A and B are shown apart, each in its own frame.
Chain A
Amino acid sequence: NAGVTQTPKFQVLKTGQSMTLQCAQDMNHEYMSWYRQDPGMGLRLIHYSVGAGITDQGEVPNGYNVSRSTTEDFPLRLLSAAPSQTSVYFCASRTGQGNSPLHFGNGTRLTVT
């Protein structure tokens, strides 16, 4: 099982550039989410989705867009990258039930110069 797959693993952007972080899962999970991790800040929720066609904002949604056209994929878009978005990004998924564990991807390390 591949689980949760994130691409790319590393990315360097210049300020103002746009890009999409890809996330795919093969476990038929209804729930998918994006977190960013910065030193001393823990994991902060950016956006999440409870199913195809449904997305909602997390704790730190500004500067990011998401869409969920299929159950498997949940891409995260940065429309105009800023140095404050330098971080490690994790995608995670779980079944639709709240009592199920999150499965994390291996992360994308993004640097914005």
Chain B
Amino acid sequence: QQPVQSPQAVILREGEDAVINCSSSKALYSVHWYRQKHGEAPIFLMILLKGGEQKGHDKISASFNEKKQQSSLYLTASQLSYSGTYFCGTEVYDTDKLIFGTGTRLQVFP
């Protein structure tokens, strides 16, 4: 039931773009995205609810393909502050469980 995230790790230079993917074998009600810095708690980025919906948060956006049960997080013109581990969390219809993937570690260098 745990969603699958890819890639496991990404290394970028400032200004480069990245895409993080999250897929599930279950029919999803929602997909959450969070970022966690080392030694800190995860911080909420965005939630996607509908098929094809796309949301944005500064230069970070995400999409949700309801037919494929996949979500992608897009980081555009990355900044040093984007470094951290990104987690997707998925919620299946008729459950109250938010289940997280194993995370994608993103490192941005000058």
Contacts and interface: CB of A to CB of B under 8 A. Distances in A.
Interface string A28-50: 00010101000011111100101
B97 A42 contact: no
B2 A59 contact: yes
Given A98-B30, A98-B91, A99-B49, A43 B100 contact: yes
A19 B101 CA distance: 28
A41 B102 contact: yes
Contacts of A90: 41-42
Contacts of A107: 41
A48 B97 CA distance: 8
Interface residues of B, number: 24
Interface in B1-24: 1-2
The interface residues of chain B, by DSSP majority, are classed as strand
A65 interface: no
Contact of A102 (B44, B101, B102): B44
Interface string A55-67: 0101100000000
A108 B99 CA distance: 20
B87 interface: yes
A103 B58 CA distance: 20
Given A31-B96, A104-B41, 10 more contacts: A42-B100, A43-B100, A44-B100, A45-B99, A48-B96, A56-B96, A59-B1, A59-B2, A90-B41, A98-B29
Interface of A: 31, 33, 35, 40-45, 48, 50, 56, 58-59, 90, 98-107
